[in-house]
Every structure is written in structure tokens, then in C-alpha cells.
Amino acid sequence: MASTVSIGVLHSLAPDHWVPFVGIGHAQKWPKFKLAWMTIVCGLGHVGSSMLIGTVGLVLGFSLANLEGMESQRGHVAGLLLIGSGLAYAVWGLKHIHHHHGEVDPKRSVTLWALMAIFVLGPCEPLIPLMFLAAAHGWLAVALVCVIFGLVTLAMMVGQALIGYSAAALMPFKKLEAYSHSAAGLVIAVTGGMIMFIGI
């Protein structure tokens, strides 16, 4: 249980767990409640998809190596999606400045569904090995690991997103506000690149 908590905290420090919410939330001027809600929903998809894969693997008797390979592929896909969606959002932001004078068109803005798809595909790498270790103590231990890891991850994601959002609001960016969408897109793309190429 102690390992689950500590690993949950450390893995959630990775910028892909909170930077996209800070960038998009700041650019689209989300209220803090919406920021927290979006983060929770995407976090549930992120953790839940790995819980499902780990559970299926345990039931069917897959080896940990097989599932870790699958998680690695999911990580590659999620990184590409972060880069692609970030760059697309940055380009849209530049066009938006010239054609819409800084007003947000909600139909073309980044939606919960786009973020959700990225986070569902994004692996929660440490969870499946923890589930396999817990399996030696029975299904109750596996369930406890999943619940504790999930709660810690969600708390970290929401906490960091809110702190980052509040910090961004204090920055003197008024003159650059028209470029906030493009800046958010570039930050998301860089985050995806860091995940893929640096392995954080």
C-alpha cells in the first residue's frame, strides 16, 4: 500500500498528467470547477483503461511482459496524439486571431472528448505491475491497489492542474492574451514530445 501511494504520487508528477489542462483551461478561460471536472473525467479514463487491461491480463493469465509491451505502444500513441493535437490547436489559435478577433468558438475548441481519447490511450505504466504484485495476496489486494492508486493519481492531477492554473493567472500575459490558444497548443505538443523522446 505504501508503494502504491508513493508510486502514484511520483508518476503523477509527469507534465502530461496536468499541463494540457492548465494550457487549455487558461486559453479558454475555464472556471476552476470546469478545470477540476475535466481533469477528473480524463484521469478516470487514464487510470481506468489500465485497470481494465491489468484485470483482463490477470484473469486470462497473461505475463506482465506482454501487458507492459501493450502499455508501451499505448504510450507511443498518446504521445503522438498530444503532439498532433497540440500543433493543430496552435495553428487554429493563430488563424483564430486573424479571423475571430480573440473570441472563442466553442464548436472548434478543444473538447472533453479529444482530451478523454488522449488520456484513455495514455498508459498508466506503474499500475499494472502493482496489480500483478498485489495478485499474490488475492483479488481484494488488487482492488485496494487500484482504488488507492486511482485516488492518489486523481488528487495529484487535479491539485497540480489547479496550482498551475492559478499560477498562470498571475503571470503578466495581458498583451499576449490573443496568442494564448497557440501558446497552449505548443505547450501540449512539447509535453507530448517530452513524453515520447525523453521518457518522463
CA angle (172 as vertex; 184, 155 as ends), nearest 5 = 55
| CB burial readout 103-133, b (16+ within 10 A) else e | eeeeeebbeeebbbbbbbbbbbbbbbebbbe
| Average pLDDT score over the chain | 78
% residues pLDDT > 70 (the chain): 69
Q: Which helix (H) or strand (E) holds 39?
A: helix 32-60
Residues 144-191 pLDDT 10s: 999 999 999 999 999 999 999 998 877 765 555 666 667 766 777 777
Q: Which one-letter amino acid corresponds to residue 120?
A: V
**Domain extents for the chain?**
2-197
Contact (CB, 8 A) for 127 and 149: yes
Query: Is the dihedral angle over the CA atoms 21, 5, 53, 72 positive or is it negative?
Result: positive
Cα–chain-centroid distance for residue 81? 11
The reported pLDDT for the residue numbered 102 is 47
pLDDT at 117 over 60: yes
Residues 28-74 pLDDT 10s: 888 999 999 999 999 999 899 889 988 988 888 877 666 666 666 66
